[in-house]
Amino acid sequence: MKPFALVTFLLFTACTLQTSVEPPVPPPTVQVAALALSETAASTLNPTATFTRTPTHTRTSTATPSSTPTRTFTHTPTATFTPTHVPTRNPYALAPFVGGTRRIPRAEILNLRAPAPGTISPALFGINYWNGPFGQNTRRALAPLNFTVMRWGGGNYEAEPFEWQDLDLFILNCRQSNVEPLIQVPFWNRSPEFAAKMVEYINVTKKYDVRFWSISNEPDKNLRRGSREKYIQGFRAFRDAMKAVDSRIILFGPELATEYDIHNPARDWLTPFLKANGDIVDVVSLHRYPFGGTVRWTDTLVNDAFGTTRRVEQLRAHIRNMTGRDIPLAYTEMNLSHDWTMGGEGSSAGFPAGLWLAETMGQMAEAGVTMVNIWNAHSNDSIGLVQRRPFEKRPTYFALLMYANYGDRIVPLASQVNGVSAHASLNSRNNFTSIVLINRAKEAREFQIIFNSNEQQQDGGIYMDRGSVKRMNYSLPAESMSSLTLDTDFRVTQSILYSRAMFNEKQDARIRNGNP
């Protein structure tokens, strides 16, 4: 090609290409609202750091000659990135308070001792885990009962192997339920070294800081020759091995089912246990199931509860005489009937079980029991507080609901109402009074609650030692239980009522805030 023609061709081509350039499509603006970081990654960042990137790109294209259109494109995308790290709460972390709305400082629970006269143990209201883990329905149902301690224990945990992650899940359920754990170590076919390994896993490896531990479950059910001596002698070796790992732990024993009749040596494992281990056991723990599901007369079932104070006082006196110490007494398993297969009137799912438990808990509080763990939280048999399938709350559940606001001081009282018993407490934190009323009669009862026990007592009144001239009219349906929470002016802030009629209609307890 000739030079002149070549130059002309190149100029023409350049102009053509210049006018055909299209501006780049601007990228979409992306707004980042938040960034989820793992704890590991986020820990290397300043939680309050803000990073802003503002790229500015300007491109101008001008064609020559002037007949070629001039296009100007300015692109200013702005992306602002602000990572905000909110630390994730450790679900296994210890809470400073336990017991739900009771809000009892954890330090008070761990300072486990026999309560002083006129006081109520902060660890009194406990539960057994058993058929864990809890689902949301069970956890929501149990929350209003304000338990303070939950026990991992029972026959299966003694006889069957378990996985270490089962313990992790139990601790998680305790944290979610705001209760202090109590863990049973197996005894038969296990060794002190294995028990020490459990303490090491929980308190050293995992750092869960579990203070309450028990050794074995109902060893008196082992009828093999020499089993009593084996357990009594082995308890010390287990205890020493466990304490060597963590000296702060509190040991419960002997966890007897029935063989603690201190008046009958043939049925008494407790006395020889105390002789051998009374210097080292921290809490004397027993179980109680007075019936087997076959007794169906309400009066017989409920009347058993009225012997609670006498039984407890005898046991506590025997413990002091044998050891020279006022060792705390706990019932780490308790319900009306030990038979989980039978339903009906005489079972732990029947209405009399609710009346029995309401009366029993009031007397145990007054007699100085340190801990009661009801058997059990939830199950598909007749013995759970909550039946899982179909979901249902049992009368024993509502009996414990009556004590959900119970305080830490006993209020002396006397009932002059036929068929009606009563128990009362004072909450030293707010001076509120809680009253639990149980009508075991087949008829409704109307009566007065008089807050001055110095008055001349007459039939038809419940007299309380609260030093006030005020009084209240109240009525209870036949076979029912009720609780009242009163403020410092003796005004009702909450009332709860549950009756046989409500049970028959499959109704929940009636809860009212303010005057009933």
Domain boundary among 13, 48, 81: 81
Which CATH number is 437's domain given?
A: 2.60.40
- 8: in domain: no
Round the average pLDDT of the chain to a whole number and report it.
87
Which CATH number is 124's domain given?
A: 3.20.20.80
DSSP codes of every residue in 142-194: HGGG---EEEE-SHHHHHS---HHHHHHHHHHHHHHT-EEEEEEP-TT--HHH
Greatest alpha-carbon pair distance for the chain in Å reads 137
pLDDT for the residue numbered 160? 83
Q: What is the mean pLDDT of residues 152-173?
A: 92
- Asked if residue 429 and residue 355 are part of one domain, the reply reads no
Q: Tens of pLDDT along 398-419?
A: 999 999 999 999 999 999 999 9
Q: Tens of pLDDT along 267-315?
A: 999 999 999 999 999 999 999 999 998 898 999 999 999 999 999 999 9
User: Which region among 52-61, 208-217, 388-397, 476-485 has the lowest average model confidence (pLDDT)?
Assistant: 52-61
pLDDT for the residue numbered 99? 98
Number of domains present in the structure of the chain: 3
- Asked if residue 341 and residue 323 are part of one domain, the reply reads yes
Residue position matching structure tokens 């419960």: 252
pLDDT for the residue numbered 362? 98
Q: Is residue 334 within 8 Å of residue 386, measured between CB atoms?
A: no
Q: Is residue 80 within 8 Å of residue 108, measured between CB atoms?
A: no
Q: Is residue 121 within 8 Å of residue 369, measured between CB atoms?
A: yes
Residue 392: band (very low, low, confident or very high) from pLDDT cuts 50, 70, 90: very high
Residue position matching structure tokens 């038809």: 460
- Asked if residue 130 and residue 256 are part of one domain, the reply reads yes
Classify residue 291 by its DSSP letter.
B
- Asked if residue 356 and residue 279 are part of one domain, the reply reads yes
In sequence order, what are the residues at sequence separation of 6 or more whose Cβ sits closer than 8 angstroms to the Cβ of residue 15? 63, 64, 65, 68
- 278: in domain: yes
| Cα 241 → chain centroid | 29
User: Which region among 41-55, 206-220, 496-510 has the lowest average model confidence (pLDDT)?
Assistant: 41-55
Residue 66: band (very low, low, confident or very high) from pLDDT cuts 50, 70, 90: very low
Q: CA nearest 516: which of 480, 466, 465?
A: 480
More confident residue, 97 or 8: 97
Phi and psi of 97, rounded to 5°?
A: -125, 150
Residue 250: band (very low, low, confident or very high) from pLDDT cuts 50, 70, 90: very high
Q: What element of type H or E holds 472?
A: strand 471-476
pLDDT for the residue numbered 450? 97
Dist CA 82 CA 59 (whole Å) = 29
More confident residue, 516 or 420: 420
**Which tokens in the block code for residue 108?**
């008070």
- 10: in domain: no
Residue 73 predicted with pLDDT over 80: no
Cα dist. 134→77, 79, 129, 512 in Å? 51, 45, 9, 28
Q: What is the mean pLDDT of residues 201-216?
A: 98
Domain boundary among 373, 404, 435: 404
Strands 329-334 and 371-374: parallel
- 4: in domain: no
- Asked if residue 418 and residue 400 are part of one domain, the reply reads no
Q: What is the mean pLDDT of residues 49-53?
A: 37
- 92: in domain: no
- Asked if residue 458 and residue 339 are part of one domain, the reply reads no
User: Which region among 49-63, 142-156, 445-459 has the lowest average model confidence (pLDDT)?
Assistant: 49-63
Q: What is the mean pLDDT of residues 496-509?
A: 98
pLDDT for the residue numbered 76? 52
- Asked if residue 465 and residue 334 are part of one domain, the reply reads no
Q: What element of type H or E holds 464?
A: strand 461-464
Q: What is the mean pLDDT of residues 340-368?
A: 95
pLDDT for the residue numbered 398? 98
pLDDT for the residue numbered 47? 35
Q: What is the mean pLDDT of residues 387-395?
A: 91
- Asked if residue 431 and residue 299 are part of one domain, the reply reads no
Can you list the positions of beta strands (E) in 359-460?
371-374, 378-379, 386-387, 392-393, 409-410, 413-415, 420-427, 432-439, 445-450
Q: What is the mean pLDDT of residues 423-435?
A: 97
- Asked if residue 114 and residue 52 are part of one domain, the reply reads no
pLDDT for the residue numbered 40? 36
pLDDT for the residue numbered 133? 84
- Asked if residue 292 and residue 330 are part of one domain, the reply reads yes
Virtual CA dihedral for 218, 219, 224, 228, nearest 10 degrees?
-140
Dist CA 379 CA 276 (whole Å) = 37
In sequence order, what are the residues at sequence separation of 6 or more whose Cβ sits closer than 8 angstroms to the Cβ of residue 290? 304, 336
Residue 81: band (very low, low, confident or very high) from pLDDT cuts 50, 70, 90: low
Q: Is residue 275 within 8 Å of residue 289, measured between CB atoms?
A: no
Residue position matching structure tokens 């053509």: 16
pLDDT for the residue numbered 131? 76
Q: CA nearest 219: which of 155, 123, 280, 299?
A: 155
- Asked if residue 319 and residue 184 are part of one domain, the reply reads yes
Q: What is the mean pLDDT of residues 151-169?
A: 91
This model's pTM is above 0.85: no
Q: What element of type H or E holds 212?
A: strand 212-215
In sequence order, what are the residues at sequence separation of 6 or more whose Cβ sits closer than 8 angstroms to the Cβ of residue 213? 182, 183, 184, 185, 199, 242, 249, 250, 251, 252
Q: What is the mean pLDDT of residues 117-127?
A: 98
pLDDT for the residue numbered 79? 53
What angle (nearest 5°) sits at the alpha carbon of residue 214, between those of residues 211 and 220?
Answer: 170
| Cα 482 → chain centroid | 23
- Asked if residue 162 and residue 36 are part of one domain, the reply reads no
Q: Tens of pLDDT along 13-45?
A: 333 434 333 344 444 433 333 323 333 333 333
Domain span at 70: 21-81
Domain boundary among 81, 107, 127: 81
- 314: in domain: yes
- 500: in domain: yes
- 6: in domain: no
